């Protein structure tokens, strides 16, 4: 199993390009199930989650053709197997995103329940409730969601909580439903907007994406289109944290600060100097970071997917920070690992109190989930000596060529087997 070996203590400097967003690409690739015509995607990141999604779509009969470095054509004309097996879904929760499109286009889907995962229980009851409101007959049997509908009907749906993939699944399903669907309490995440833009270019009639009320007028069919995946705001935020913690000076290319307001604000509160350009962001770190408290919440508030990375930078900041996680019930698994590197963190319910220390020291640590792994990389970059991170398959789900990109910024990072 691959591990990452980091020799800490080098200030990051230079320029590196960011990749397309995993959390936009995953639902957007599923949108190809909604049409029999080819859909062309660009800026698709090379990630294990994307390969898993392509295998899953391929199993269903979708034609997958690579096109250049980061391009891809998906052809749903041959869709013949509306099943997502446990084997596929267990490695990637986002597989549930095939449910809405499959029922909408073919009238039937059989999708394994994703089950609990490291960061929380993550049920899909809201996805199911929404499809039922649209007239689907849904049964959960032997770990599978079976959904059927001759044709979905538009409905008014108010989800019990803000759910990103729930909003995406229902928005995709509603595109081919009869009549109007209104999703209230919708997720406002930029990835939802990117998906809506792709669907609109395929002929969908959607308004309100990016607000908490999305309206979709169903159409009889969608057509092929071309769509460029948005830049990955979480990858971008992660590299900004890595530069901040090492006292670095970096410029991230092919990205945008447009969706990173809260992250940029917190980094400036920590003492970083940030310059925002149209397609790039530069960060110059202070001599020592100041502690910054935060509370995660749905967009536009601070993203839960950046919580672990900010925990890492607070570990060596000046002062005490309180980090409150409000989205997932078990997203502090990086805490014990960070403590192995010398961090001082105390957990009280869903608060982590981080007392900044002067230095961290390298050790062997274990990655437990995607962003927890990113926090260990950040801590390893500033720790004295060597840090060996085990189980980095989590990182490969969401960070494209991470060791190569960090090395380009001057870090000493290598993959070992």
Ligand X SMILES: CC(=O)N[C@H]1[C@@H](OP(=O)(O)OP(=O)(O)OC[C@H]2O[C@@H](n3ccc(=O)[nH]c3=O)[C@H](O)[C@@H]2O)O[C@H](CO)[C@@H](O)[C@@H]1O
Ligand Y SMILES: C=C(OP(=O)(O)O)C(=O)O
Spell out a b/e string for 41-68, using b for 16 or more CB atoms within 10 Å of the CB, else e.
bebbbebbbbebbbebbeebebeeeeee
Length of the chain measured in residues:
417
**Catalytic site residue 241?**
no
Distance of CA 80 to the CA centre of its chain: 29
Count of residues near ligand X by CB under 6 A:
22
User: Which residue, judged by CB position, is nearest to ligand Y in the bound state?
Assistant: 305
Nearest to 299 by CA among 237, 218, 367: 237
State the CB neighbour count (10 A cutoff) for residue 101. 27
Least distance (Å) between residue 30 CB and ligand X: 11
With CB under 6 A as the contact rule, the residue among 28, 370, 372, 377 that binds ligand Y is 370
With CB under 6 A as the contact rule, the residue among 107, 120, 271, 385 that binds ligand X is 120
Of these partners, ligand X, ligand Y, none, which one is at the site of residue 194 (CB under 5 to 8 Å by kind)?
none
Q: Are 27 and 69 in contact (CB under 8 A)?
A: no
Distance of CA 290 to the CA centre of its chain: 27
Q: Give the nearer residue to ligand Y in terms of CB position, either 202 or 377.
A: 377
Which residues are within 8 A (CB) of 18 and not within 5 positions of it... i.e. 6 or more apart?
231, 232, 235, 236, 239, 252, 253, 254, 255
Query: Should residue 233 be labelled a site residue for ligand Y when binding is judged by CB under 6 A?
Result: no
Q: Which stretch binds ligand X (CB under 6 A): 160-168, 197-205, 317-325, 403-411?
A: 160-168
- Residue 319, SS3 per DSSP: coil
Question: Taken in order 178, 183, 187, 189, is the CA torsion positive or negative?
Answer: positive
Query: Should residue 310 be labelled a site residue for ligand X when binding is judged by CB under 6 A?
Result: no
Question: Per-residue contact track with ligand X, 89 to 118, x per CB under 6 A?
Answer: ----xx------------------------
Q: Are 382 and 357 in contact (CB under 8 A)?
A: no
Query: Should residue 305 be labelled a site residue for ligand Y when binding is judged by CB under 6 A?
Result: yes
Of these partners, ligand X, ligand Y, none, which one is at the site of residue 136 (CB under 5 to 8 Å by kind)?
none
* 231 annotated among ligand-binding-site residues: no
With CB under 6 A as the contact rule, the residue among 14, 58, 77, 123 that binds ligand X is 123
Q: Give the nearer residue to ligand X in terms of CB position, either 98 or 285.
A: 98
Dist CA 60 CA 53 (whole Å): 11
Query: Should residue 93 be labelled a site residue for ligand Y when binding is judged by CB under 6 A?
Result: yes
State the CB neighbour count (10 A cutoff) for residue 73. 16
Of these partners, ligand Y, ligand X, none, which one is at the site of residue 355 (CB under 5 to 8 Å by kind)?
none
With CB under 6 A as the contact rule, the residue among 15, 67, 125, 404 that binds ligand X is 125
Q: Are 350 and 323 in contact (CB under 8 A)?
A: no
Of these partners, ligand X, ligand Y, none, which one is at the site of residue 124 (CB under 5 to 8 Å by kind)?
ligand X
With CB under 6 A as the contact rule, the residue among 19, 23, 256, 373 that binds ligand Y is 23
C-alpha distances out from residue 256 to 41, 276, 371, Å = 19, 8, 20
Query: Should residue 12 be labelled a site residue for ligand Y when binding is judged by CB under 6 A?
Result: no
C-alpha distances out from residue 367 to 169, 198, 373, 387, 390, Å = 29, 34, 5, 12, 6
With CB under 6 A as the contact rule, the residue among 82, 166, 237, 362 that binds ligand X is 166
Q: Which stretch binds ligand X (CB under 6 A): 125-133, 216-224, 282-290, 353-361?
A: 125-133
Which is the catalytic residue, given 30, 117, 158, 315? 117
Residues that bind ligand Y (CB under 6 A): 23, 93-94, 305, 370-371, 398
Catalytic residues: 117
Give the residue ranges of the annotated binding site. 22-23, 93, 122-126, 305, 327
By CB under 6 A, name the binding residues for ligand X: 23, 26, 93-94, 120-127, 161, 163-166, 191, 304-305, 327-328
């Amino acid at each position: 199993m691959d591990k990452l070996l980091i020799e800490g203590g080098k200030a990051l400097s230079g320029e590196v390009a960011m990749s397309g967003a995993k959390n936009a690409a995953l639902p957007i690739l599923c949108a190809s199930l909604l049409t029999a015509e080819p859909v062309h995607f660009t800026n698709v990141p090379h990630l294990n989650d994307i390969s898993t999604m392509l295998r899953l779509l391929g199993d269903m009969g979708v034609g997958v053709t690579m096109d250049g470095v980061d391009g891809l054509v998906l052809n749903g004309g041959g869709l013949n197997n509306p099943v997502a097996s446990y084997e596929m879904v267990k490695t990637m929760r986002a597989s549930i995103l095939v449910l809405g499109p499959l029922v909408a286009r073919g009238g039937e889907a059989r999708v394994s329940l994703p089950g609990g995962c490291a960061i929380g229980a993550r049920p899909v009851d809201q996805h199911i409730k929404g499809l039922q409101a649209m007239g689907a007959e849904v049964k959960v049997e032997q770990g599978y969601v079976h959904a059927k509908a001759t044709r979905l009907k538009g409905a008014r749906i108010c989800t019990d909580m803000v759910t990103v993939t729930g909003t995406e699944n229902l928005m995709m399903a509603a595109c081919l439903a009869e009549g109007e669907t209104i999703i209230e309490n919708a997720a406002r995440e930029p990835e939802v907007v990117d998906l809506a833009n792709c669907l609109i270019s395929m002929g969908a009639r959607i308004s309100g994406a990016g607000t908490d009320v999305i309206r979709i007028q169903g159409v009889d069919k969608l057509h092929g289109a071309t769509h460029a995946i948005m830049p990955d705001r979480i990858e971008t935020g992660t590299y900004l944290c890595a530069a901040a913690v090492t006292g670095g000076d970096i410029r991230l290319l092919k990205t945008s600060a447009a969706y990173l307001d809260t992250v940029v604000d917190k980094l400036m509160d920590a003492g970083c100097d940030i310059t925002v350009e149209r397609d790039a962001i530069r960060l110059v770190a202070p001599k020592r970071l100041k502690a910054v408290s935060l509370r995660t919440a749905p967009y536009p508030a601070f993203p839960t997917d950046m919580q672990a990375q900010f925990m890492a930078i607070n570990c060596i900041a000046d002062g005490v920070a309180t980090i409150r996680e409000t989205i997932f019930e078990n997203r502090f698994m990086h805490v014990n690992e960070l403590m192995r590197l010398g961090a001082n963190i105390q957990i009280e319910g869903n608060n982590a109190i981080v007392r900044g220390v002067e230095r961290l020291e390298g050790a062997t640590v274990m990655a437990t989930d995607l962003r927890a792994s990113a926090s260990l990389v950040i801590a390893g970059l500033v720790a004295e000596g060597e840090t060996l991170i085990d189980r980095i398959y989590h990182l490969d789900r969401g960070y494209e060529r991470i060791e190569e990109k960090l090395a380009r910024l001057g870090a000493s990072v290598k993959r070992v087997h």
